[in-house]
Structures are given as C-alpha cells and as structure tokens.
Amino acid sequence: MLPLNDDAWRDWRDKWSLAEGVTYLNNGSFGPTPRAVSDARRQWMEAVEADPQDFLLRQLGPRLAEVRRRLGELVGTEGDNLALVDNASVAMNIVAASVRLQPGDEVLANDHEYGAVLRLWQRACDRAGAKLIVQPLPVPIASADEVVETLFAAAGARTKLLVVSHVTSPTAIVLPVEAICRRARELGLATCIDGPHAIAMLDVHLDRLDCDYYAASCHKWLCGPLGTGFLYVHPRRQAVVEPALVSWGRTLEGDMASWRDEFNWVGTRDPSAYLAVPEAIDFLARAGFDFFRQRTHALAAYARESFAGRLGSEALVPDSPRWYGSMISLRLPEGEAEPLQKALWQRYKIEVPIVSWQGLRLVRPSCHLYTGREDIDRLVNAVAAYQRYGGPCIVVDLGTATTLDVVSDAGVYLGGVIAPGMETSLDALTSRAARLVKVDLIPPERVIGRSTVESMRSGLVLGTVAMMT
C-alpha cells in the first residue's frame, strides 16, 4: 500500500474506538488501545476471575514467560533479559535504584531528555552526593557525528552512567543510539536507554545495541494496553538490579531462581494488560511493521511539509526517517504554549502537544494507523487560524473532504460541516455515470454550463463555493 494513500488505510481507522469529533494526534503520549487488544485483555481478565488461585499460582508464570518471549522476538533479545513493568518510567526508576552512585560520581544526560527522567536522576544524584550533567545538543541537528561528539564532550573521569533517549520526547528526534552506545563502551561507561517511543516505531535490536539497560513502554506505538512496559537488563548487569517493590521475590512454580522473579510477583494484581501484549504485536503484524512505519513516517513528513508551507515552521532535524519516525516536532511562531494548547482543544477538539522547550514553541503531532492526512490538515488550519485571526472564525479545508469548523468570538468550538471534497465528488460522478469523464477543477466562465464539461465544473466548483458562503 502506498504510504500516503488514505483510502488504502481507511479501514484501519475503524479498529479503534476514538471519540466522535476528536482529532487525536497525541499517540506519543497516550496511545489509544485498538478494540482487538482491549477484547483480548477482557478475555484474560475473565480467565483470571474464573479461578484466581489456579490462574495466579499455576498458570501466570508460564504465560508471562510467553509474553517476554514474544517481546524479545520483537526487540531482538532473549525473553530472559526482560522484566515486565508498568511503563518506561517505572523501568527507569528501577535502574536509578539499582545503580550504586557514590559521592562525586556523574550521570550524563542531554537537554532533549524527558522531564520526568531528568527529575528522577536529579533526585538519585542528590541522594548519593553525585552530579547530573545535562549537556545541550545542537539545534538544528546536522549529523550523527555532531550529536555523538557534542554529547561525549561532557563525559569525564567521574562519569559513571549515560542516560539517553532512543527517540526524544519534546523534540521527537531519533538519536544515533548505536553510535552512542559504541562510544560509551569504548570509554567504559554504562548506558541506560529511555525507549518508550521506539518500540514498534523503529526496528529495535537490543542485543546489537549492547546497552546495559533499556526502559520501554508498550502502550504507545505498539498498541499495548495502558500500564504495560518492560525493562531490558544486559546479562552483565542482571545481578545488581533491585525491584522498586519488595514482595516474595521468588517463582511460584518451583522454577530455578532468576533476576526476574522480583518483578513477576509484586503482590496480587491484575495481569491481563501484560497478557494482552502478544495480541498487540499480532495486531500490528497484520498491518505489517514495515508498512506501519512507512505510513506513519509519511504522515509525519506530510505534517512537516504542511506546517512549512502554511506557517514557515522549521524542523529540528534533516528530512529523513533516520531522524524522525511516526512523530515530529516543528517550530511555531513565538508565543506561549499553554494558550494554544487550550485553544486547539476548546475550539477544535484537537489533541496534540504544544511544547515549550529551550525557548522554542513546538507542535508535536504523532501519527498512527488511525491518522489520516485530513487530521494533519485540520491541525495546520487550526494553528494558522489561531495565529492569524483568533476568533470568531470559520476554518475551511478543501481536501478529500470539504470541512468547515466554526469558532465563536469567545473562542468556543460551535461545531462544523463535513462534505465530500471536489475531487471525491468528481470521482463518484465519473465512476457511476458512464458518459461523464474527469475534468479539470477550474472555475467556469458562467454558472449555467453550455457543455457537459462546463456543467460539471459549475456543479463541482461553484457548488462548493455556494456551500461555503
């Protein structure tokens, strides 16, 4: 399927239960769960409730092992190297509690990192008398070598651990983590990769990456239920990993003890979200992981092109899938982030992050299989209308559909109109009326056409104008 052919992907949109009238462009923060995955979770929940003791004491261990095996196949490692946790933040906290920092040690990060990650490592360093170094990276980024050299310019004899995102959160940049990990090994530094955005968006191969720790979430691009993630720990580090919660710390099935036992049983809880993760993997596999990546990157590239054309917005990285995947951050004209974020929701029911980062105001649309170009068009139009007119206004978009969004003078979204676009109407006419052929959609010289072509142009072009006015 062609990546930007919305018609070819339209059936996938119906596989989610998204709210009517909402344009959802924030999969990067909170990925909605497809119905097939929600159904699988519900079935697992019913299986647990049918006989909790049998399921939790006899069946759960082997079933979680199968989940780890499937995830390991996806991310290029053995399932034995993975512990199932709620999300990447939990995984990162486990690493912070397990790395033994000493007074004077340094943890190296960069200024593109997720705020919560910087916060937790700042706390870990404060408690140990260590220091968190946050190295600024260049913007815009020009090359992988530039990133690596700039980052490691801040590494020194006291540096004990490097923390770096695979895909950054505020700036949506795919960092060259293989080159970063390779340099870190040469310097004898441990590496912890923050990877919640990379799983499914990118082809991840943890054994080849050879990092020490990798924190991940499954509820974003992989389509797993909320509250599912994993922590990868290289075998050379597994003996030192400690859980954030202490419980029995042993297998319930009598198997040989493992470092993962501390994470399998942390008290009684509902395991159905984890057990539904294989269905999420299968769900994306039915689309094809490569096709998914091509489609969502093409949509992000379309957003890049559209914002550049309408608002002159600049990207932070070169135009290549090496630097951004299914989401992209783009510069907006100067201004405050929060009022625009609020206006996009209240006026247009658009969910998208507006990020204030290092003095820049960024918009970060993220795309999945439920996203279409009309969603990007609506976002671009809404931001442009906000920047130029505020309210009241009517925002018109002429695309596959002709849409009109109406905003009051108080900035309240009153509703809208969705009608077939001119091209869509023309396609319908020519496919269903044997004697009608495609015509150029240019304004006719008169309202009453004197030929079939003129009459079609009048109906399509002037009919659309009449509807708008």
d(CA 271, CA 46): 11
Q: DSSP assignment of 172-226, as one string?
A: --B--HHHHHHHHHHHT-EEEEE-TTTBTTB---HHHHT-SEEEEESSSTT-PPT
Could you please report the per-residue DSSP string of 120-159?
Answer: HHHHHHHHHT-EEEEEPPPSS---HHHHHHHHHTT--TTE
* 3-class DSSP assignment, residue 68: helix
Which of 389, 363, 388 has its CA nearest to residue 376?
Answer: 363
Q: Catalytic: which of 194, 212, 377, 405?
A: 377
- ω before 140 within 30° of 0 (cis)? yes
| Residues 431-434: contacts with CB under 8 Å, at least 24 apart | none
* Separation of alpha carbons 127 and 104, rounded Å: 12
DSSP secondary structure string for all residues of 321-345 = TTT--SB--EE--SS-HHHHHHHHH
Q: Answer yes or no: 409 catalytic.
A: no
- Active-site residues: which are they? 377
